[in-house]
């Protein structure tokens, strides 16, 4: 039998997400567990991928299968698609594996044409409803399929309302809507040079094609890159019998969360609109009503609603985000999925559900997106500062956090000003999916219209961006770039501040303070720590960062970049003397001055780490990075060294390199100038002895030699280290354990890791350099051309942010195997940026590493990602 590309909802279930998409799989699951949903079918993600493989056509076989399944749907519903008796109307809805809210397009009321609209009017006895549905269909079809902007139709609708002297869409009569349909069709003809298509079968195939096409639209691409969704997944398309919330005052549509998505409170949070269809609720056209009103209006429907919401949450063991429609008092569900939520809400829900016995700790650990933890760790407004600023408006607390910036009135403006280094707040009437890039660029988002489930609110919560929605007191003039509140006018040069946790909008620029972490965070993270087997260290160069990381749960330092300490003003001058020294004596003299400073740094780090291991990487960057460039600096240095400026300039230009990334750096420096390694060893060892004595600790310093590509390099530098260290330890007559290991960051080191391991106490993968050396492009320059790679789908992701497992990851694997092959207990870690990236953490877990090391703020992210990796793929 040939491959099946179309499934009735009754043929699928929740496990089939990859094939049916999230929406389709859940529609199937709801069908199976007896939730009232309109029947329909799903065209699979494989059909979408095939569409792209076949140069963007749907093959006749698949079209045939779609029509055949439509016939089955006609049987099930007892209606006829395009028929003149009891016509079947459907929606065409996109649905990828992962939810991408509002990123792709939906068409409602398909099956209507000049003939069927009359039939619907007659059969329902509701002409107003029939034409309301038709005008919506024309607009959506034109927008999604034929590329005629929805806004143009909205403009025509707006004119009509003005003409008739009404405020709301619902106040237009049947006659008005009939007239509107004519206007819409005329406009369509004017734009497309042909009549609005009348054949429902053709409408259907065109619509499905358009959904496939929308998988590749620019805003979907941006969203995917942000959320780690590969383009190869494709989207499914759901075709579903329509139910109508626009049939009058006993009909309506709404959205619901089984718990509060902002706070996590265990209480249904839902909004709805009577006499409305589909996205009216989220589009902010009218202000929705809280679900509590429904209890008064239709108590029976309300009770049934609550029952279904609870049933779905219990069934999925997670907070659900649902869509529902009431058609003349009868309730239907149209979608359910695990709801997006703020980080605070996510923690509360996870902890509550464990306490309620609804999920295990392991399941709870999987409920939280590690990246979201980030938002909990970020600053809030200083309460004292906040009092000094006036609240100019209050909207809904749509997504928590604190944000300050100057006002930007369009997404494009926000993006451009952000790129130019400004902090901006995006202020809009309401946002739409096209605004995504501007929303990413902005510090915070403020909208005038829209509720807690508006586009801005949903997207901001997902991104962890601060958002205040529906601040109705504000008037925005997007054309003239002004915002008016209480008679006062604000321009692009004015600062405002948003408190996403209260919904307050302040005038001016408010200082922020570090967040406090406690309560649910502590409980939840303690579960993660119980579960995970991968340890988490931090990359820290200062006691301040190290202390921060300890607070966030770091178990040691995996990387201290010693060069960062030399950029301080009082040191760089001495550092320069060391670099331009032409004799060993002169170099030693400068190093002698650096020694106490460096030793002081290490003591500070050891103390901050409270006895946990500290890995110190020896000097790594090309020396000329430290050299002076300004005339005055050069003159001062020449004077100190008793050189002429010309001579010094000569030395400086000798140090110039064409390709410094591959130049005189890393262990190469210690090979040329062993006295550098001697000084650094002395600083590391003496500091450790002193701190251990003072504090009564057992700090084990780990000395890390960078950029080794050949075992003899390591052997040479290690000898210097050992000689120096052992002499100091003997001289002081103390015991001190220390390790000497290497960074693995050159492909040659990976493939000769068996040799290198013989000389190393540990390996730490420097995946930043390893990535740049494996790909052969520099991370400082790649930004300019990688964007072409994303546009052309050559890469889906930035390999510097997310480990390239297929290529760079193989080098890691080889080094692990070869290294552990000769030293079974060789300690293995990672200290590149990837150490804090969840999907990379999974990879390191699976390949048996002992620890990852990342920047302090990502430590909690890595702890959680490591726990999730252990739940999904237990080791040891």
- Summarize as ranges the residues that interact with Mg ion (CB under 5 A): 106, 335
**E strands present in 18-121:** 40-43, 80-81, 87-88, 90-96, 106-110
- Token pair in block for residue 448: 């005038």
Tell me the closest approach of the beta carbon of residue 241 to ligand ADP, in angstroms: 6
Alpha-carbon torsion 102, 104, 110, 113, what sign?
Answer: positive
Distance CA 652, CA 687 (A): 33
Site string for ligand ADP, 190-229 (x = CB under 6 A): ----------------------------------------
Neighbouring-strand partners of residue 428: 447
Block residue for tokens 């009232």: 36
Residue 152 in the binding site for ligand ADP (CB under 6 A): no
SS3 (DSSP) at 88: strand
- From the list 19, 88, 334, 627, which residue makes contact with ligand ADP (rule: CB under 6 A)? 334
- Token pair in block for residue 577: 């003397």
| N-terminal to C-terminal alpha carbon distance within the chain | 44
> Could you give the count of Cα atoms lying within 13 Å of 531 in the half-sphere of its Cβ?
27
Tell me the closest approach of the beta carbon of residue 424 to ligand ADP, in angstroms: 27
Annotation says 564 is catalytic? no
- Token pair in block for residue 34: 């007896």
Distance CA 333, CA 317 (A): 18
Interacting span for ligand ADP (CB under 6 A) from 70-78, 238-246, 386-394, 726-734? 238-246
Residue 22 in the binding site for ligand ADP (CB under 6 A): no
> Could you give the count of Cα atoms lying within 13 Å of 35 in the half-sphere of its Cβ?
27
- Token pair in block for residue 78: 């007892």
- Choose among 177, 308, 210: nearest CA to 254: 308
Cβ distance to Mg ion smaller for residue 87 or 95? 95
Q: How many CB atoms lie within 10 A of CB 358?
A: 15
Residue 804 binding: pick among Mg ion, ligand ADP, none (C-beta 5-8 Å cut-off by kind): none
- Token pair in block for residue 600: 């002081």
- From the list 26, 91, 275, 870, which residue makes contact with ligand ADP (rule: CB under 6 A)? 91
Annotation says 834 is catalytic? no
What's the CA angle centered on 113, arms 179 and 274, to 5 degrees?
65
> Hey, which residues between 825 and 864 contact ligand ADP (CB under 6 A)?
none
Q: How many CB atoms lie within 10 A of CB 857?
A: 17
Residue 170 binding: pick among Mg ion, ligand ADP, none (C-beta 5-8 Å cut-off by kind): none
Cβ distance to Mg ion smaller for residue 106 or 260? 106
Cβ distance to Mg ion smaller for residue 17 or 576? 17
Tell me the closest approach of the beta carbon of residue 24 to ligand ADP, in angstroms: 10
Cβ distance to Mg ion smaller for residue 106 or 275? 106
Site string for ligand ADP, 105-134 (x = CB under 6 A): -x-x--------------------------
SS3 (DSSP) at 144: helix
Residue 102 in the binding site for ligand ADP (CB under 6 A): yes
Strand pairing report for 269-274 and 106-110: unpaired
Tell me the closest approach of the beta carbon of residue 256 to ligand ADP, in angstroms: 11
Cβ distance to ligand ADP smaller for residue 93 or 418? 93
Interacting span for ligand ADP (CB under 6 A) from 239-247, 337-345, 491-499, 672-680? 239-247
- Token pair in block for residue 846: 């699976």
Tell me the closest approach of the beta carbon of residue 97 to Mg ion, in angstroms: 15
Block residue for tokens 């915002």: 483
Residue 37 in the binding site for ligand ADP (CB under 6 A): no
Distance CA 534, CA 875 (A): 10
Residue 91 binding: pick among ligand ADP, Mg ion, none (C-beta 5-8 Å cut-off by kind): ligand ADP
Residue 325 in the binding site for ligand ADP (CB under 6 A): yes
Q: How far is CA 141 from CA 73, 598, 733, 813, in A?
A: 22, 68, 84, 51
**Which spans in 94-217 are helix H?**
114-124, 127-144, 150-164, 174-192, 200-214
Residue 279 in the binding site for ligand ADP (CB under 6 A): yes
Interacting span for ligand ADP (CB under 6 A) from 235-243, 381-389, 527-535, 822-830? 235-243
- From the list 31, 42, 69, 240, which residue makes contact with ligand ADP (rule: CB under 6 A)? 240
Residue 454 in the binding site for ligand ADP (CB under 6 A): no
Residue 21 — left, alpha, or beta (φ > 0 → left; ψ -120 to 50 → alpha)?
left
Tell me the closest approach of the beta carbon of residue 107 to ligand ADP, in angstroms: 9
Tell me the closest approach of the beta carbon of residue 215 to ligand ADP, in angstroms: 13
Q: Which listed residue (467, 667, 831, 854) is catalytic?
A: 831
Q: Which listed residue (48, 389, 418, 455) is catalytic?
A: 455
Residue 243 in the binding site for ligand ADP (CB under 6 A): yes
Cβ distance to Mg ion smaller for residue 106 or 767? 106
The pair phi, psi for residue 501, each rounded to 5°, is: -90, -20
Cβ distance to Mg ion smaller for residue 100 or 760? 100
**Residues within the interface to ligand ADP (CB under 6 A):** 38, 91, 93, 102, 106, 108, 240-243, 278-279, 323, 325, 334-335
Q: Which residues are catalytic?
A: 455, 831
């Amino acid at each position: 039998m040939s491959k099946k590309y179309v499934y009735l909802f009754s043929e699928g279930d929740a496990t089939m997400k990859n094939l049916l998409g999230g929406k389709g799989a859940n529609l199937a699951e709801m069908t199976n567990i007896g939730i009232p949903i309109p029947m329909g079918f799903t065209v699979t993600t494989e059909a979408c991928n095939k569409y792209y493989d076949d140069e963007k056509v749907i093959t006749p076989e698949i079209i045939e299968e779609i029509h055949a399944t439509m016939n089955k749907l006609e049987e099930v519903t007892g209606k006829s698609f395009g028929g003149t008796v009891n016509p079947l109307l459907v929606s065409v809805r996109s649905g990828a594996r992962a939810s991408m809210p509002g990123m792709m397009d939906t068409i409602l009321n398909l099956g209507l044409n000049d003939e069927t609209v009359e039939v619907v009017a007659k059969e329902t006895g509701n002409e107003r409803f029939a034409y309301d549905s038709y005008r919506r269909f024309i607009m959506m079809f034109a927008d999604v399929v034929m590329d005629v902007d929805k806004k143009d139709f909205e403009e025509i609708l707006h004119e009509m309302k003005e003409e008739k002297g009404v405020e709301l869409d619902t106040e237009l009569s049947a006659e008005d809507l009939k007239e509107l349909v004519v206007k819409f069709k005329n406009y369509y003809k004017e734009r497309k040079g042909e009549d609005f298509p009348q054949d429902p079968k053709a409408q259907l195939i065109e619509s499905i094609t358009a959904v496939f096409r929308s998988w590749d639209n620019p805003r979907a691409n941006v969203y995917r890159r942000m959320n780690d969704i590969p383009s190869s997944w494709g989207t499914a398309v759901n075709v579903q019998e329509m139910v109508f919330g626009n049939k009058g005052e006993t009909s309506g549509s709404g959205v619901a969360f089984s718990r509060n998505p902002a706070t996590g409170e265990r209480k249904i949070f839902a909004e709805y609109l009577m006499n409305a269809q589909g996205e009216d609720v989220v589009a902010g056209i009218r202000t929705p009503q809280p679900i509590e009103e429904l209890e008064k209006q239709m108590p029976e429907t309300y009770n049934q609603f609550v029952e279904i919401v609870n049933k779905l949450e219990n069934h999925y063991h997670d907070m659900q985000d649902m869509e529902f429609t009431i058609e003349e008092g009868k309730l239907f569900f149209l979608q359910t999925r695990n709801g997006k939520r703020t980080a605070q809400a996510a923690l509360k829900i996870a902890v509550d559900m464990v306490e309620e016995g609804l999920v295990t700790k392991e399941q709870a650990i999987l409920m939280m997106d590690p990246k979201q933890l980030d938002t909990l760790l970020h600053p809030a407004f200083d309460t004292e500062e906040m009092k000094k600023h006036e609240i100019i408006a209050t909207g809904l607390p749509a997504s928590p956090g604190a944000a300050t910036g100057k006002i930007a009135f369009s997404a494009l403006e926000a993006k451009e000003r952000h790129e130019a280094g400004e902090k901006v707040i995006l202020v809009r009437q309401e946002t739409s999916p096209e605004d995504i890039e501007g929303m990413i660029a902005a510090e915070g988002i403020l909208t005038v219209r829209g509720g807690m489930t508006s586009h801005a609110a949903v997207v901001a919560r997902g991104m962890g961006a601060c958002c205040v929605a529906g601040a109705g007191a504000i008037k925005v003039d997007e054309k003239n770039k002004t915002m008016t509140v209480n008679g006062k006018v604000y321009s692009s040069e004015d600062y405002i501040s948003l408190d996403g946790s209260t919904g307050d909008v302040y005038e001016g620029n408010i200082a922020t303070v570090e967040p406090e972490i406690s309560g649910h965070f502590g409980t939840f993270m303690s579960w993660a720590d119980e579960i995970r087997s991968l340890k988490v260290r931090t990359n820290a160069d200062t006691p301040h960062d190290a202390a921060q990381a300890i607070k966030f749960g770091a178990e040691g330092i995996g990387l201290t970049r010693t060069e960062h300490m030399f950029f301080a003003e009082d040191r760089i001058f001495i550092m320069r003397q060391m670099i331009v020294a032409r004799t060993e004596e002169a170099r030693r003299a400068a190093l002698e001055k650096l020694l106490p400073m460096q030793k002081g740094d290490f003591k500070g780090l050891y103390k901050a780490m409270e006895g946990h291991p500290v890995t110190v990487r020896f000097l790594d960057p090309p020396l000329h990075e430290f050299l002076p460039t300004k005339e005055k600096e050069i003159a001062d240095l020449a004077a100190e060294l008793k050189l002429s400026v010309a001579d010094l300039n000569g030395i400086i230009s000798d140090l110039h390199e064409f390709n410094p990334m591959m130049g005189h750096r890393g262990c190469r420096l210690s090979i040329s100038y062993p006295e550098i390694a001697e000084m650094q060893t002395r600083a590391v060892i003496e500091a450790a002895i002193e701190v251990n004595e003072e504090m009564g600790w057992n700090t084990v310093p780990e000395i890390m030699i960078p950029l080794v590509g050949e075992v003899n390099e390591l052997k040479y530098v290690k000898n210097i280290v050992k000689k120096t260290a052992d002499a100091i330890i003997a001289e002081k007559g103390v015991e001190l354990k220390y390790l000497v290991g290497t960074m693995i960051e050159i492909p040659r080191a990976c493939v000769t890791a068996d040799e290198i391991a013989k000389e190393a106490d540990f390996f730490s993968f420097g995946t930043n350099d390893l990535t740049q050396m494996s790909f052969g492009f520099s991370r400082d320059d790649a930004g300019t051309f990688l964007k072409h790679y994303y546009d052309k789908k050559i890469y889906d992701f930035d390999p510097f942010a997310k480990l390239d497992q297929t290529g760079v990851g193989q080098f890691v694997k080889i080094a692990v195997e070869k290294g552990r092959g000769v030293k079974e207990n060789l300690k293995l870690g990672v200290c590149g940026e990837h150490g804090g990236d969840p999907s990379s953490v999974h990879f390191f877990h699976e390949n048996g590493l002992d620890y990852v090391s990342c920047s302090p703020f990502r430590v909690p992210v890595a702890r959680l990602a490591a726990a999730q990796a252990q739940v999904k793929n237990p080791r040891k």
